[in-house]
């Protein structure tokens, strides 16, 4: 029981650190104020940049948790199946995120509105 609790503490610590690193790294990047003033396009771009950083951090955490699930499975087929499902859903999430973040650019390129 005590060993299981230590694993949870380690996983949550690593996950928290992995999520915070991209956010902290982006905090040091301060863009110059726009010359033409603040536009809706700039606000949208800033929001998507922040969401992208959070998304990447979450994806890293998902794969770290899956790795810990594989290591702690110790050959148990049920636990290995759970770890595989975590990896599969992590990949599906990354694909969905890349499509979601690319879709506005694809649409504006296709219709010539950008």
Q: What is the DSSP letter of 39?
A: -
Structure tokens at 20: 């915070």
- Mean pLDDT in order along the chain per 10 residues (114 residues): 58 62 58 67 80 84 86 86 88 86 81 66
For residue 28, CA distances in Å to 17, 31, 43, 47, 89 come to 17, 10, 18, 16, 32
What is the reported pTM? 0.57
Q: What is the DSSP letter of 31?
A: P
């Amino acid at each position: 029981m005590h060993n299981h609790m230590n694993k949870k503490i380690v996983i949550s610590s690593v996950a928290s650190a992995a999520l915070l690193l991209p956010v902290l790294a982006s905090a040091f990047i301060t863009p110059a104020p726009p010359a033409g003033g603040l536009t809706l396009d700039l606000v949208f771009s800033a929001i998507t940049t922040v969401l992208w950083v959070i998304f990447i951090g979450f994806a890293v955490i998902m794969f770290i948790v899956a790795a810990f699930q594989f290591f702690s499975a110790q050959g148990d087929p049920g636990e290995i199946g759970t770890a595989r499902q975590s990896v599969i859903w992590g990949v599906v999430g990354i694909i969905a995120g890349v499509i979601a973040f690319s879709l506005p650019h694809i649409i504006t390129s296709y219709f010539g509105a950008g």
